[in-house]
Chain A
Amino acid sequence: NAGVTQTPKFRVLKTGQSMTLLCAQDMNHEYMYWYRQDPGMGLRLIHYSVGEGTTAKGEVPDGYNVSRLKKQNFLLGLESAAPSQTSVYFCASSYSERGGLETQYFGPGTRLLVL
């Protein structure tokens, strides 16, 4: 039982390049989330999904797209990377709705540097 895994662990991009971050969970959770963590700020929700085939915008969705084609996977895409997207990205999953009493399980993070 690996929990929540993220690929890649670290990536360097040039401004304007695109990339996809992959999140996978093996806990059969319905809900999945993408957050970003920046120095001096709390984690901020980018997008989330309440089930296979569904996605919704979070607090800071601009510049990102997501897809949830399979229940266990949640992809975060950057179509044209900008230096402001330099951050640590965390994926999380939970059994039921966000904010409820269900614990969110976080992945180890992806460190992204945009030059």
Chain B
Amino acid sequence: KNQVEQSPQSLIILEGKNCTLQCNYTVSPFSNLRWYKQDTGRGPVSLTIMTFSENTKSNGRYTATLDADTKQSSLHITASQLSDSASYICVVSAGYFGNEKLTFGTGTRLTIIP
């Protein structure tokens, strides 16, 4: 059974600090991994998409890493801002071309305090 586990469940940090969110997955065969940001009361918004061959991908202050050997990904947020307060969801795609399936993690709830 495909599984995506995220840690921590919740995190509180001071504005301006950095943080790293973790994602471990058990899927086969791996296709790609995505990180989404979900503001309270809104739909998820895509941050990054990484394939098997990509180790790092950045989107502004967000940097995602992928280690396909250990089946781990992380999302690093640099110089956090109040607007970064949200849930961050790791999503892994598994399957062969034309028959992929997405498995969603339960998310990490990040709170930035001034």
Partner-B contacts on A (CB < 8 A): 4, 40-45, 90, 92, 97-101, 103-109
Contact = CB atoms under 8 A, between A and B. Distances in A.
A108 B100 contact: no
Interface residues of B, number: 26
Contact of A97 (B41, B98, B103): B98
B100 A109 contact: no
Interface of B: 4, 31-32, 41-46, 49, 51, 89, 93-95, 97-107
B74 to A, nearest CB: 18
Contacts of A106: 43-45
A99 B30 CA distance: 10
B10 to A, nearest CB: 12
A101 B104 contact: no
